[in-house]
Amino acid sequence: MALASIVDAIGKTPSVWLDRMVAARGLEGRILAKLDYLNPGFSKKDRAAKGIIDAAESEGTLKPGQTVVELTSGNMGTGLAIVCRQRGYPFVAVMSRGNSVERARMMAAMGAEVVLVDQLPNSSPGQVSGGDLAEVEKVAQTLVQDRNAFRADQFHHFGNAKAHFETTGPEIWNDSDQSLTAFVDFAGSGGTFAGTIAALRSFCPETRGYVLEPEGAAALSGARVTNPNHPIQGGGYAMPQLSFLANTAVDGYLTVDGQTAQNTARALALEEGIFGGVSAGANVAAALDLLAGPERGGTIGVTICDSGLKYLSTDLWV
């Protein structure tokens, strides 16, 4: 069936059982990986981008031809670049220079105006901290005012979590033959976790949900932040609160260190043929830990958040 637009190709990504990885580690249970790196923009953020624009159009808060502005680590920006270009909205992506250069180039190729913001003096390339994100936020706010733009606001706009409630959750539940017992997700905006777990619990109220953060930057769990710089791009900004999690029950907070996330992403490529990014490696590492512990024998859902192609300039594939 031919689609009318590339936007219609967002969602309905396949899922794969990671039985080889589970068996190789002698664990009991299963992990189901939702391959959202196969979305048109190579990430799960395509869903949120479409959800936010759909909602804004329905509400009338986004006017025809109005400029859209949003901060991004590159994934939401790519999703918005695709959706906005197809629907006639100029889009400005505001991103830290700490994110990989592939992301900026891809957004520009999709028609976005990309504004890069310098990192703080104590930050390192590839390790975007909450402080770096705050600098990006300042620039985004100024651009919204100067251009009378619509702010996509992925950290707060309900269209983000709604997209995952309406699509990701039902898809992964059905893909698992309605067998999921838990879901774990690395926290960026929190929209994927909040929307997906809400949908899963509408099918099975006992489904457990775990929020994943970087080791040393687990502010959501209430832990003291000792290392805000880490290589897991797209999240783990050491924010003590995320609006999407305010009314979402969390069964547990987990941590993963950057090296483990990278090593698991490499193992995912080698053992399962899935070329995901660092956050995907973090999710799978957490799911493996859960099968070794409190979720032994269970069925855990994860998302492959983005493509390994977005990390070719980093040390992930060296």
Catalytic annotation on 279? yes
The pair of structure tokens assigned to 263 is 């090593």
Find the catalytic residue in 100, 123, 176, 279.
279
Find the catalytic residue in 34, 44, 45, 50.
45
3-state secondary structure the chain: CCCCCHHHHCCCCCEEECHHHHHHCCCCCEEEEECHHHCCCCECHHHHHHHHHHHHHHHCCCCCCCCEEEEECCHHHHHHHHHHHHHCCCEEEEEECCCCHHHHHHHHHCCCEEEEECCCCCCECCECCHHHHHHHHHHHHHHHHHHCCEECCCCCCHHHHHHHHHHHHHHHHHHCCCCCCEEEEECCCCHHHHHHHHHHHHHCCCCEEEEEEECCCCHHHCCCCCCCCCCCCCCCCCCCCCHHHCCCCCCEEEEECHHHHHHHHHHHHHHHCCCECHHHHHHHHHHHHHHHCCCCCCEEEEECCEEHHHHCCCCCCC
Catalytic annotation on 73? no
Which residues are annotated as catalytic?
Answer: 45, 279
